[in-house]
Amino acid sequence: MVLIIVATVVGALTPSVMRQITHARINRAANVVAGDFYLAQSLAVRQHSPVIVTFDSTLKTTTIALPSGTALFTRHFDLDSEFKLRAYSASPASVTLLPSGMSNASVTVTIGGSDFNKRVRMTRAGQIRIIG
């Protein structure tokens, strides 16, 4: 009898807990994307050279590279990573950050799951915001 009650309670709470875990992963991923923007800005200043941030929505990766093509950093957001994101896209797919802190374009990265999304936006002036 006790096992039936425990199984019923666990069965009732599982969807809620899974939703909270998914939301926490998406929120953490949004903070990490914002941190990657800050990292790219500081690398551009430190290197005294532009840095290119490329977003691959198919592989669900963010790559920070020098204009020569040398990759400095790559982060994965796919289902095999700690974030397990179902949706990951950016518009535009690439942005260049200058040593002055400015960028050549505003970029918005959309990350999420089936029912919950966050957007991370960086303006041309280098301001970074998490939206949603």
Cβ atoms of 71 and 63 closer than 8 Å:
yes
Please determine, for residue 79, whether its predicted confidence score (pLDDT) is greater than 90: no
Of 20, 42, 45, the C-alpha closest to 116 is 20
> What topology is assigned to 2-131 in CATH?
minor pseudopilin epsh fold (3.55.40)
DSSP H or E stretch at residue 97:
strand 94-97
pTM for the whole thing?
A: 0.86
Contacts of residue 29, defined as CB under 8 A and 6 or more positions apart, other chains included, come to 77, 83, 85, 111, 118
pLDDT in tens, 81-102: 889 888 999 999 999 999 998 9
**Where do the structural domains in the chain lie, given as residue ranges?**
2-131
Per-residue pLDDT at 55: 96
Alpha-helix runs per DSSP H in the chain: 2-47
What average pLDDT does the structure give for the chain? 90
